[in-house]
Amino acid sequence: MAKPALGRGLGALLGESPIAKPPVPAPTAHTALDAVLAADPRARVQRVPLDRIRPCPLQPRKDFPPETLRELADSIREQGIVQPLIVRERDGHLELIAGERRWRAAQLAGQIEVPVILRQADDQAVLALALIENLQRENLNPLEEARGYAQLVGQFHLKQEEVAAKVGKSRAAVANALRLLRLPAAIQTHIREGRLSVGHAKVILGLTDEKLQQRAADRILKEGLNVRQTEVLVSRWLARETGAMTPPAAALPLSRDAHVANLENQLRERLGTKVHFRYNKGKGRLEISFFSDAELERILQLLGVAGE
């Protein structure tokens, strides 16, 4: 079943002015291109020389596995490019807004011309559309997704809530993705290449010391720990750091450690910030971190507390 289109609608992002001429059939799937066509039924497809098109530096996706490109190139040789690329005019050439994987595969397939839809879009709209297209196809790895959000926040000065609205995600999902960028570069590489899952990463983020984070990642990779086992490991290390709050091993079984770690992770995901939860025989401490007045206000709103 096709995924629903994400975000506010690409018509709102890209404007309404058609440029190309030949007509195209009505869209049938809820893809990024379909959203463009649905938002502006006058949009048209045209064929342009492949060498007129350039990749976009704002493209959040950086990894294009050679094997998948070869498979797509084989398909293009047989059936052509089914879904047109979306481009904009830029410095005398056409710059990709969406469809870089198809563009790369078309080169491998020896194509001379490709179908495109020419649009007018500013940089913010281009990045948002590139994120939307890749998220719809599940082509972004978690680090590419996080960096795309960070680019919207840093380069375009958007709040996390605004980013979430543009890409059709919850604010908590955006906040949790951005937290991945706090991890050491080596751990980010493991996540990008699929050796560590996002679930592992969320547990590792419970450790504030980078050396401990790296140590945890090494243990996961060496021993093949799943997320639940990683929660137990991290909760043990955190218990050692608290000193007096650490109960004897017999008083706090592993199942309790894992349960507390799981609750802590749920709180982190819900609040989108660092949370430390300590528990011992019905007593403990819950610490919620914030890093600006705006973030404090956001957390208070999530908790249903009216700030003065």
HSE of 19, CA atoms in CB hemisphere, 13 A: 15
To the nearest 10 degrees (0 to 180), the angle between helices 254-271 and 227-242 is: 90
HSE of 209, CA atoms in CB hemisphere, 13 A: 8
What is the residue type of 197? S
| Catalytic residue from among 95, 100, 144, 231 | 100
Q: Do 202 and 269 meet the contact criterion of CB atoms below 8 Å apart? A: yes
Is 78 a known active-site residue?
no
Secondary structure of the chain as H, E, C letters: CCCCCCCCCHHHHHCCCCCCCCCCCCCCCCCHHHHHHHHCCCCCCEEEEHHHEECCCCCCCCCCCHHHHHHHHHHHHHHCCCCCEEEEEECCEEEEEECHHHHHHHHHCCCCEEEEEECCCCHHHHHHHHHHHHHHHCCCCHHHHHHHHHHHHHHHCCCHHHHHHHHCCCHHHHHHHHHHHHCCHHHHHHHHCCCCCHHHHHHHCCCCCHHHHHHHHHHHHHHCCCHHHHHHHHHHHHHHHHHHHCCCCCCCCHHHHHHHHHHHHHHHHHHCCCEEEEEECCEEEEEECCCCHHHHHHHHHHCCCCCC
> Which residues are catalytic, by number?
100
